[in-house]
Amino acid sequence: MDTVTPAGAPAETPAEAAGLKAGALGFISSLVIGVASTAPGYSLAASLGLVVAIPGIGLQAPAVLLVAFVPMLLIASAYYYMNRADPDCGTTFSWATRAMGPWAGWIGGWAIIVADVIVMANLAQIAGLYSFLLVGWQSAAASTAAVTIVGVVWIAIMTWICVIGIELSARTQVGLLGAELVTLALFAVIALVKVAAGTAGPNAVSPSLSWLNPLAIDSTSALIGGVLVAIFIYWGWDSTVTVNEESENSSEGPGKAAVLATLILLGIYLIVSVAAQAYNGTQELIDNSDDVLSVLGEQVFGSPLDKILIIAVLTSAAASTQTTILPTTRTSYSMARAKALPESLGAIHPRYLTPHVSTILMGGFSIAWYVGLTLISENILFDSIAALGLMIAFYYGLTGYACTWYYRHELTTSVKNFFFVGVAPTTGGIILTWLFIKSCIDLSKPENSESGSSWFGIGPPLVIGIGFLLFGVVLMVLWRAAGHRDFFQRTQEIAQPGSLEGPPPSHPAETAGVA
Amino acid sequence: MAGALLVGYDGTPGAQAAAGEALRLAKPLGVDVVFAFAYWANPGGGEIADMLTALREQGNAVLQEALGLAEQAGVPARAELVEGRPSSGLVDLADEDDAQMIVVGSYGEKPLKGALVGSTAHKLLHLSERPVLVVRA
């Protein structure tokens, strides 16, 4: 192949060009996967209204978003170091099993599966709602039945896409994410400009730094409730540090990409939440908590352009569905292979090379769960997200503890290790555990819950969250009672001495060779 | 060996047809056959170790089958596991080995379905600089 080079520039050999390209693409891919996995557009659409509506939060919603980031950041350190132990190690199921034994691993894997199935209800709801809003079909958007039908179709299509293994090219993903971020940024900027110019809504409020101050929230319960919803907004961001892909420079790539993803996410969330509540005050958000972005979009952008924001939310939800289905099926697949779940879940499709049985089953459960929740819940969005918050707090916390425990003998080898592998993950775990317990207490009094509704005298999210966890414990015990010693008699492992020193071990994929 | 026939093999009926055709062509052309199983797992989903292990197991099993076919036909052959997306993986391997052509199977799907579902043959026809032979199952 001839390469034409500008005069005077040294020619790149094809090998060098490929290497550079792999490195650059690896960084961007890590960044895109990390940011896209948190699905900023969808996350904001689903939760901004909910956070603002919590009694006692009001204008301090941006502060809540800021606070919620702290435990996520600390736990990301756990993900980074567990991944470093063995770049292909996996996620909570493998790590908790390794570090803390099969019982912890099982329940951790279960929590991931439950979290993902629960959130599908929320995703489907938003997808259905915003699909109708996109075409301007208001009556359908207001109809539970119509939205549910579209939601179910959505889950089915996304599941099918995952079974077939359809993937968008890296470039397309970058493009979509870029469009999503630009749309959100534009929304925020235009809204703020209008507020400054006085052409915003009648209840417009000038942004103030106090909105970022968590101490301005009087009630801890309010803060807890807000953070429980808000950790969902950052959920998925850890994939930036677990993706060691094509990057030649595995030890550098994920770290920098993670930092950049952090800044991007924090920035977007803060700016959009500030702009959203500045535009027409908090009551507007509370009244329209189901479709905050579309209502505001209409006012900020004006008639035809507001569809862009709706499209951004929909593409975000689509991306999020995929990044939700994938971890669920991977976890259940791994559990099946480890004999922690029925073997049939460990099948791979001969042509598509995907764990099709797991995927279809998870899709089925998601649909059943979504339809069921639609029938019995008064506020699907809130109930699903708050319950999800409990699950995330549970398994992220578990991951934090597992990391510190696994590396417990390496913690004193250096100050950096002590802080990043010891203090950070454990503190993150403690914060999330406290959040979990306090939320359970608060949610046990239904008058605290968003809708004030109650099931068995307790707030719905608590019933869902604890209910599923207890159900998991029962299943786990039954599974053990049925034998399966291979899995349950696994012993805890501990990090090799010196495993935190030096460069991370090479990606096993690099050594995959001849059959 | 340069000039070998590279067969993208995954054990499915289309691949078997492709393998048959390649083995049939190898003798008169006097070249070897290389069977390649290409696999890839999205790194974003986590628990990737188990997926990759499973895919490699599948690949090895399937390639053993292919080598068996080659032995029966009396054609010298070797097998390769290729990690990466099938179309680009096969193209890269073909370049590395300086293969004469790439042989893959087809399901005979309608073109739109092939494009949606992501048929490797479909992509290779556009990506590959070397001749591509598509054999119907």
What is the tens place of the pLDDT at every residue in A311-325? 999 999 988 888 888
Asked if the model's pLDDT at residue A417 lies above 80, the reply is yes
Question: For residue A397, how many C-alpha atoms fall within 13 Å in the half-sphere facing its CB?
Answer: 18
Residue A140 has pLDDT above 90, yes or no: no
The yes-or-no verdict on residue A331 having pLDDT over 70 is: yes
pLDDT bracket for residue A505 (50, 70, 90): low
Binary contact (A334, B11; C-beta < 8 A) = no
Q: Which helix (H) or strand (E) holds B82?
A: strand B77-83
**With bands split at pLDDT 50, 70 and 90, how would you rate the model's confidence at A450?**
low
Contact A351 B12 (CB under 8 A): yes
CA A252 to chain centre: 23
Cα dihedral A250/A72/A310/A363 (nearest 10):
80
For position A447, what pLDDT does the model report? 65
Enumerate residues 278 to 337 of chain A having a beta carbon within 8 A of any beta carbon in chain B: 323, 326-327, 329-331, 333-334, 337
For residue A165, list chain B residues with Cβ-Cβ distance below 8 A.
118
Nearest to A326 among B37, B42, B52 (CB): B42
User: What is the arithmetic mean of pLDDT over B32-40?
Assistant: 93
Q: Do B49 and A323 touch (CB under 8 A)?
A: no
CB contact (8 A) between residue B47 and residue A93? yes
Give the pLDDT of residue A79: 82
- Chain A residues in contact with B63 by the CB 8 A cut-off are 515
Q: What residues of chain A lie within 8 A of the CB of B48, using their CB?
A: 88, 90, 330
Predicted TM-score (pTM) of the model is 0.86
Query: Residue A76: helix, strand or coil by DSSP?
Result: helix
Distance CA B124, CA B114 (A): 12
CA distance A285 to chain B (A): 33
Give residue-wise pLDDT tens across range A154-163.
999 999 999 9
Residue A459 confidence (pLDDT): 81
Tell me if A245 and B43 make a contact (CB, 8 A cut-off). Answer: yes
Q: Does A116 touch chain B (CB under 8 A)?
A: no
ipTM higher than threshold 0.90: no
What is the per-residue pLDDT for A509?
A: 42
Chain segment A452-472, per-residue pLDDT in tens: 567 777 888 888 899 999 999
Contact A512 B56 (CB under 8 A): yes
Are residues A388 and A114 in contact, defined by beta-carbon separation less than 8 angstroms?
A: no
User: Mean pLDDT over residues B23-40, rounded?
Assistant: 92
Q: Do residue A514 and residue B80 have CB atoms under 8 angstroms apart?
A: yes
Model pLDDT, residue A246: 40
For residue A126, give both structure tokens.
Answer: 């938003």
Please say if the pLDDT value at position A19 is more than 90.
no
Q: Is the pLDDT of residue A3 over 50?
A: no
**Contact (CB<8Å) A509/B117:** no
Q: Give the pLDDT confidence score for residue A249 in this predicted structure.
A: 53
A326 contacts B49? CB cut-off 8 A? no
Instruction: For A36, name the nearest residue in chain B, comparing CA atoms only.
Output: B44
Whether residue A13 has pLDDT greater than 70: no
User: Which of A 14-33 lie inside 8 A of B, CB atoms?
Assistant: 33
Give A408-411 contacts, CB < 8 A, sequence gap 24+. A408/A494, A408/A495, A409/A494, A409/A495, A409/A497, A410/A495, A410/A497, A410/A498, A410/A499, A410/A500
Q: What tens digit of pLDDT does each residue of A285-310 get?
A: 888 888 888 888 888 888 788 889 99
Whether residue A494 has pLDDT greater than 70: yes
Separation in Å, CA of A382 to nearest CA in chain B: 26
B9 contacts B62 by C-beta, under 8 angstroms: yes
Tell me the chain B residues in contact with residue A326 when contact means C-beta distances shorter than 8 Å.
42, 44-46
Residue A219 pLDDT exceeds 80: yes
Q: Could you tell me the pLDDT band of residue A152, with boundaries at 50, 70 and 90?
A: very high
CA B137/CA B117 separation, integer angstroms: 17
Q: Does B54 touch chain A (CB under 8 A)?
A: yes
Please state which of the ranges A143-147, A274-278, A323-327, B29-33 shows the lowest mean pLDDT.
Answer: A323-327
The whole-number pLDDT of residue A12 equals: 45
